[in-house]
């Protein structure tokens, strides 16, 4: 069961939510997997998604890589969701901390996930704290970049059909970091008007 922590309605009509919960239980059109470029879903969020959704997600991911090659920050893969309560899993590759140009790559992973959801005709998406696990991205910085990237996407695509972008975080402390960054981002956006 997810616990809503904050809601940020946007002028263009879409909504960003921050919740504490289990990404694999989200009843949205698609969840975003924090994937590696090989789509080898062994640990972290990726492993949890395959455990909850079934081996079919890994099998379809393997087939994607065989057909299309390695996944990039700019072009996520997507698969069906197996036994998960959503329709699709969008596999976004976030940056590994220390590889260089991490901020841009993380923002690109968020933008491309929304663009992928839109191309699939989806209306709702749930996103984890991409790159903050084993990829080592600092949490507060990631929160700021993810939230800013969501706002920027909707400013650039005000008619986006993806009306709900929900950030799903496992624990209270992480959720609080995202809520604080979300309030700062919203306040900055209001002061720009």
> Which pair of tokens denotes residue 165?
């972008």
pLDDT tens per residue across span 41-87: 988 899 999 999 999 999 999 999 999 999 999 999 999 999 999 99
Q: Is 72 left (phi over 0), alpha (psi -120 to 50) or beta?
A: beta
Backbone angles phi, psi at 84, to 5 degrees: -70, 155
> Which pair of tokens denotes residue 67?
């057909």
Look up tokens 């956006």; give the residue: 189
Predicted pLDDT at 78: 97
pLDDT tens per residue across span 83-100: 999 999 999 999 999 999
Per the CB < 8 A criterion, the answer to whether 29 and 122 are in contact is: yes
pLDDT tens per residue across span 111-140: 999 999 999 999 999 999 999 988 899 999
Per the CB < 8 A criterion, the answer to whether 2 and 128 are in contact is: no
> Which pair of tokens denotes residue 181?
């960054």
Predicted pLDDT at 134: 86
Predicted pLDDT at 38: 96
Predicted pLDDT at 184: 85
Residue 1: band (very low, low, confident or very high) from pLDDT cuts 50, 70, 90: low
Please give the share of the chain, as a percent, with pLDDT higher than 90: 84
In this structure, the number of other CB atoms found within 10 A of the CB of residue 78 comes to 23
SS3 for 37-60, per residue? Answer: CCCCCCCHHHHHHHHHHCHHHHHH
- Sign of CA pseudo-dihedral 135, 181, 29, 156: negative
Integer Cα distance of 188 and 12 in angstroms: 17
Predicted pLDDT at 189: 61
CATH classification of 3-170 is 3.40.220.10, yes or no?
yes
Tell me whether residue 99 is exposed, middle or buried, using C-beta atoms within 10 angstroms of its C-beta: 0 to 12, 13 to 18, 19 or more: exposed
pLDDT tens per residue across span 181-191: 998 877 666 55
Instruction: Decide which of 44 and 145 is more confident.
Output: 145
Distances (CA, A) of 8 to 3, 112, 128, 135, 160: 15, 21, 17, 28, 16
Predicted pLDDT at 35: 94
């Amino acid at each position: 069961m997810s616990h809503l922590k904050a809601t940020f309605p946007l002028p263009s009509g879409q909504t960003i939510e921050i919740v504490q919960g289990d990404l694999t239980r989200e009843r949205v059109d698609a969840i975003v997997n924090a994937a590696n470029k090989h789509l080898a879903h062994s640990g972290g969020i990726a492993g949890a998604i395959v455990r909850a959704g079934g081996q079919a997600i890994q099998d379809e991911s393997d087939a994607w890589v065989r057909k299309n090659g390695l996944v990039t920050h700019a072009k996520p893969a997507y698969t069906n969701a197996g036994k998960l309560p959503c329709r699709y899993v969008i596999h976004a590759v976030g940056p590994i901390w220390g590889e260089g140009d991490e901020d841009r790559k993380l923002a690109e992973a968020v933008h491309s996930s929304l663009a992928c959801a839109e191309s699939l005709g989806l209306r709702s998406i749930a996103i984890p704290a991409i790159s903050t696990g084993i990829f080592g991205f600092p949490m507060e910085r990631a929160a700021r970049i993810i939230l800013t990237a969501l706002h920027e996407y909707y400013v650039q695509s005000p008619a986006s059909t993806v009306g709900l972008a929900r950030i799903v975080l496992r624990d209270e402390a992480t959720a609080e970091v995202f809520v604080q960054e979300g309030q700062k981002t919203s306040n900055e956006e209001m002061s720009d008007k």
